[in-house]
Amino acid sequence: MAKIVSTVDTTKNAKKTPEKEQPWKELGLKQEEYDRIKVILGRRPTSAELAMYSVMWSEHCSYKSSKIYLRQFGEKVTPEMTKNLMVGMGENAGVVDIGEGWAVTFKVESHNHPSYIEPFQGAATGVGGIVRDILTMGARPIAIMDQLRFGAVSNPDTARVVNGVVSGISFYGNCLGLPNIGGETVFDKVYQGNPLVNALSVGALRHEDLKLAKASNPGDLVILFGARTGADGIGGVSVLASETFDADGPSRRPAVQVGDPFAEKVLIECCLELYAAKVVAGIQDLGGAGLSCATSELASNGQAGMRVQLKEVLLRDESLTPEEILMSESQERMMAIVPKKDLKAFTAIVNKYEVEFSVLGEVIREPRLYINWGKEEIVNVPPRSVAHDGPVYERPVSYPVWQDSLNNNSVKNANLKRSNEASDLAEELVQIISSPNQASKSWITDQYDHYVGGNTALAMPDDSGMVRVSEETGLGVAIATDANGRYCQLDPYNGAKLALAEAYRNVASSGAVPVAVTNCLNFGSPENPEVMWQFKQATAGLADGCLELGIPVTGGNVSFYNQTGDIAIHPTPVVGVLGVIDDVARRIPSGWQDAGNNIYLLGITRDELDGSVWSEVIHDHLGGKPPVVDLAAEKALAELLQGASLQGLLASTHDLSEGGLAQTLVESTLRFGMGARIWLNEITERDRVDLTAALFSESTARVIVSVGREDDVKFVGLCEARGIPVLRIGVTDASGQLEIQDLATWSIEELKATHGATIPEFFG
Amino acid sequence: MKIGVVTFPGTLDDRDAQRAVRIAGGEVVSLWHADANLHSVDAVVLPGGFSFGDYLRCGAIAAQAPVMESIIDAANGGMPVLGICNGFQVLVESHLLPGGLIRNENQHFICRDQKLIVENVDTPWTNGFKLGQEITIPLKNGEGGYIADDETLKRLEGDGLIAFRYSEVNPNGSVNNIAGLRNERGNVVGLMPHPEHAVEPGFGPDTPLAMRSGIDGLTFFTSVLNQVVNS
Amino acid sequence: MPKIIVEVMPKADLLDPAGKAVANALQRKGHAEISNVRIGKRIELHYASTPTDAEVEAAKQIAADFLSNGVIEDVISVTVEN
């Protein structure tokens, strides 16, 4: 990549040469943005300042197109919802009080574009970045999850991306010593040139250990520590996140970042020891936008300023220019604000870990960021103008021209063939459970360590991941994430609510109480008014849904420009729900383990096949309206599961979602290899649906549970008292097979082979 | 009874190994790689992880650490030493156990509940098992394929130095299904699977009785405590 | 046996974590004279007979397209060894 300048451009020089041509356009700035920088500074920016503003005002860092919509997550709340929120949106990650003096922090972030260019390093550094965000809050990271969307399995490029991404997550996550407790993997041709690689991390901390990214005490030292600064991903943030891929591939090949999980593991232990020693007044990780971001955000958050000597930055490559140093995205670096009196203690700890550091400067009272390159002043800016007062756009929004015809093309209107023949339905079931999206993902998840730490109470293939936080009491947290791009394409408002509902239901199914929400909103180009309409709808749906369920959004991430040419991905708002459980020993398995238990279906089945897996796998069809969302019913169901679990009535719970009852029955059978006999006639009679709907409808607010015979009366009584529709649909048995009466019988071995073969066949 | 658990930079399962020692009833002493002092421990566990990033070769840089000089001396003097996964690799790189560990046959990291057959119970770490007993503990490694030259293999087999073999599935292509070894004296044992992840009900492998209830790994730690108490 | 030797190194301006870890270990062992370490790969392609010019060209192509990842690595050399 060509260097931006070859000689140092000082503030003095900038004043003297107001007419100098500057490459603001190449750096992704608009004319009015460049003009605004000149107004803020009262002169043209130096090249270093231009670099800082361009990267910090990029879509990725400034949220300039999404900000006006993200506000509602903070506005559509009640005092009840936020009473346990210790840190809300806007910080590196939200922090939730979970009781007993413990708090947890969690967040999802995207690393989509880098993972297409270099899947292994892109995914690896995505994990590294989100873990540093969690560490920055003062927490010990305790688990990770990943939400992956790839192109069609049959496309030859998909294997390149899948293998690289999975190896990258496996390499980095395993080497960090964080259990990977779940996630999602979806294949759809809409993600072919725009795979989505989202990574979630959760961390735990004692209330008093909370750390914030701010520099507020004049005289405190500004210290950069961790890896050295090199030419990693220079300009990556603004270039990658603000440009759309051309039809024939990435438009530029910027230097990618290489991750070193070993350095990050050492950095985690080092930071935790620094926190315990109470020598850090503020801390920020270096991610996208590197030093530009860390210095300006710390100063802006602390309503103070900073004087920084850039020559003090330890370099891996001595030829870096000051602008490159400011933009470098070298991984595994942190910036700490340390009181002068604590420097000695700080030094002792980082030396123990053989972590390199240098003092770059100090905090000043005047809210101004001064950066020198030797004797020359190259940056002199109000930090707030860089970090927080960037441009905000209300982009044009328009209802997609194709939306109505897509919605009219329902399963019914398209006259999709549906059979009532047992043999046809049995064949459809097999096709569905072996389809790439519904097949077992163990080929992927077996590459991740889910044991490390010794606190994993649930992990894939369970409905949610769960980790113990307190070894004394068993207090723990459960997390589930969901997104259904097909539903969102049909209706982004309700699609986002459906993702929320499913993640909420998954957490409740584990026995935990849902308490907070995070999100990662993956969309096409915000400059396309139809995409912006989808974004507007999805954020409104999610905010309204959270208000209805009474759980707050604690933070999130937006990834725009996921499109190739004019073709955007399906809107894919990944929603993560965090739940709390007072004792993880009480968690509910997702499969049947004992013979002779009764199997109950809770909730009502409607004829809802638009956007379903059945319509996709059997008919390659997408149209109509997604299932109805009934959050009141979801809430009632979650409360019932909570009550029943507290009384120890539930032997297992598994939610119903993609693939409907059929998919859930197969997964419940395969979890522990326990068979069952199922009958569908009562569902078809009570709910007046045909067998296709009974098996494959994706109606919401439904789960199946298994209950020991001795608890039957109590359990059914509980459901009836709470008005939850309950129907006994089968019995578990040790027959070694799954029998759906009047339909078919499969041996468990056969189901396991069918469900397990697909992914290895394409990627193994 | 004091059991030292070593932490190298990049060690991951040290806290798990410490928990296992505590659950078994032992006293934990944390040992730091840069400190050659073993703080009068009675036995040492080298836990799993990616010491020094496992760059160069797994365990190669850790084998050069000051603490290892002391551990090698102590092991040669008869102190019980258990190397788990990366700890096994460190033992091999330190020449306390023969052979080497290479990339898994399928080229992927693998995490699974693994069945093992206990092949030798004459060590401080395995005396609580029955000979031929089948146990299930987690396995998680990227470079767990055991290899050795023919002569070494013949000696290992002939002298009864195989401590554990993989049962049902050989997950990483190890020769003769070797999952773990002991030295001639018996005090040094190394294995790829992770006993410290199967010590506490609720957090171990699944069993036919209940989810995550497997605690077969606990016997490693109770064995050494009994041995040390009895000697 | 005739061979073509391909040497691949991580790109000079990218982080080489393995090289860094080994360099640090050498420092600890007292080798202050070694200022840096970088670790690459040597790949041998074996041929039944001395590779023709076309085969060498093909090997160069293979080295660039398949044996190395141009985003993060450079092919340093492709040499014939008889």
Predicted model pTM: 0.94
B229 CB neighbour count, 10 Å cutoff: 10
User: Is B58 assigned a catalytic role?
Assistant: no
Residue of B nearest to C28 (CA): B65
* Domains observed in chain B: 2-230 (3.40.50.880)
Number of domains chain A is built from = 1
Handedness of CA A328, A332, A338, A344 (dihedral sign): negative
Distance of alpha carbon A162 from the chain centroid: 18
CA neighbor of A639 nearest in space, from A604, A602, A683: A602
Q: What's the confidence (pLDDT) of residue A255? A: 59
Contact assignment for B50 to A447 by CB distance below 8 Å: no
CATH number at residue A714: 3.90.650.10
Ranges of residues in chain A whose predicted pLDDT is under 70: 1-6, 235-255
Which member of B85, B119, B143, B200 is catalytic?
Answer: B85
Contact assignment for C71 to A331 by CB distance below 8 Å: no
Contact assignment for C13 to A255 by CB distance below 8 Å: yes
Q: Measured between alpha carbons, how far is C16 from A261 in angstroms, rounded to an integer?
A: 12
Instruction: Please indicate, yes or no, if residue A283 is contained in any of the structural domains.
Output: no
Tell me the per-residue pLDDT of A369-398, one tens digit each, with 9 for 90 and over: 999 999 999 999 999 999 999 999 999 999
Q: What's the confidence (pLDDT) of residue B83? A: 98
Q: For residue B198, give Cα distances in angstroms to A549, B56, B136, B172, B207.
A: 38, 30, 8, 20, 11
Is pLDDT of B186 > 90?
A: yes
**Which residues of A lie inside 8 Å of B (Cβ-Cβ)?**
167, 170-171, 174-177, 260-263, 265-266, 352-354, 446-457, 468, 471, 584-585, 589, 593, 672, 764
Q: What's the confidence (pLDDT) of residue A269? A: 97
Q: Name residue B43's beta-bridge partners.
A: B3
Instruction: Please indicate, yes or no, if residue A641 is contained in any of the structural domains.
Output: yes
Q: What's the confidence (pLDDT) of residue A249? A: 35
Tell me the per-residue pLDDT of B39-67, one tens digit each, with 9 for 90 and over: 999 999 999 999 999 988 899 999 999 99
Question: Exposure pattern of A570-586 as b/e (b: 16+ CB <10 Å)?
Answer: bbbbbbbbbbbbbebeb
Chain C CB contacts of A262 under 8 Å are 17, 21
Element (H, E) at A36: helix A31-41
Tell me the per-residue pLDDT of A79-99, one tens digit each, with 9 for 90 and over: 999 999 998 877 778 999 999
Contact assignment for C21 to A262 by CB distance below 8 Å: yes
Tokens representing B100? 């080497």
Which C residues 30-69 touch B at CB under 8 Å?
Answer: 39
Contact assignment for B55 to C29 by CB distance below 8 Å: no
Contact assignment for B53 to A455 by CB distance below 8 Å: no
Residue of C nearest to A263 (CA): C17
Q: What's the confidence (pLDDT) of residue B231? A: 63
Q: For residue A690, give Cα distances in angstroms to A130, A420, A429, A680.
A: 46, 8, 15, 10
Homologous superfamily (CATH) of C3-81 is Phosphoribosylformylglycinamidine synthase subunit PurS (3.30.1280.10)
Is pLDDT of B91 > 90?
A: yes
Q: Provide the residue count of chain B.
A: 231
Tell me the nearest-neighbour CA distance from B223 into chain A, angstroms. 21
- In the block, tokens 């190449």 appear at A26
CA neighbor of A366 nearest in space, from A319, A305, A423: A305
Q: Which of C9, C11, C13, C15 to mutate to test the interface with A (most CBs of A within 10 A)?
A: C15
Task: Write down which chains contact chain C via at least 3 CB pairs under 8 A.
Answer: A, B
| Average pLDDT for C23-44 | 91
Q: What's the confidence (pLDDT) of residue A246? A: 40
Q: Measured between alpha carbons, how far is A11 from A670 in angstroms, rounded to an integer?
A: 67
| Average pLDDT for B125-150 | 96
Question: 3-class SS at A89?
Answer: coil
- Chain C touched by A318 (CB under 8 Å): no
Q: A353 Cβ partners below 8 Å, 6+ apart?
A: A266, A267, A269, A270, A273, B9
User: Is B85 assigned a catalytic role?
Assistant: yes
Tell me the nearest-neighbour CA distance from B147 into chain A, angstroms. 22
- Chain A touched by C27 (CB under 8 Å): no
Contact assignment for B55 to C21 by CB distance below 8 Å: yes
Q: Measured between alpha carbons, how far is A512 from A462 in angstroms, rounded to an integer?
A: 13
Q: Which of B32, B107, B108, B192 to mutate to test the interface with A (most CBs of A within 10 A)?
A: B108
Residue A666: which domain range? Answer: 589-764
Is pLDDT of B119 > 90?
A: yes
Contact assignment for A446 to B110 by CB distance below 8 Å: yes
Contact assignment for C69 to A258 by CB distance below 8 Å: no
| Average pLDDT for B148-157 | 95
Instruction: Please indicate, yes or no, if residue A104 is contained in any of the structural domains.
Output: no
Tell me the nearest-neighbour CA distance from B96 into chain C, angstroms. 21
Contact assignment for C29 to B52 by CB distance below 8 Å: no
Q: Measured between alpha carbons, how far is B153 from B177 in angstroms, rounded to an integer?
A: 12
Tell me the per-residue pLDDT of B63-86, one tens digit each, with 9 for 90 and over: 999 999 999 999 999 999 999 999
Domains in chain C: boundaries: 3-81
Instruction: Please indicate, yes or no, if residue A279 is contained in any of the structural domains.
Output: no
Q: What's the confidence (pLDDT) of residue A614? A: 98
Tokens representing A265? 């593991």
Element (H, E) at A652: strand A652-655
pLDDT category of residue B154 using cuts at 50, 70 and 90? very high
- Chain B touched by C25 (CB under 8 Å): yes
Element (H, E) at B45: strand B43-46
Handedness of CA A715, A716, A717, A720 (dihedral sign): positive
Selecting from A258, A262, A354 the residue whose C-beta is nearest the C-beta of C14 gives: A258
Q: Which of A144, A351, A449, A594 to mutate to test the interface with B (most CBs of B within 10 A)?
A: A449
Instruction: Please indicate, yes or no, if residue A494 is contained in any of the structural domains.
Output: no
Q: What's the confidence (pLDDT) of residue A243? A: 41
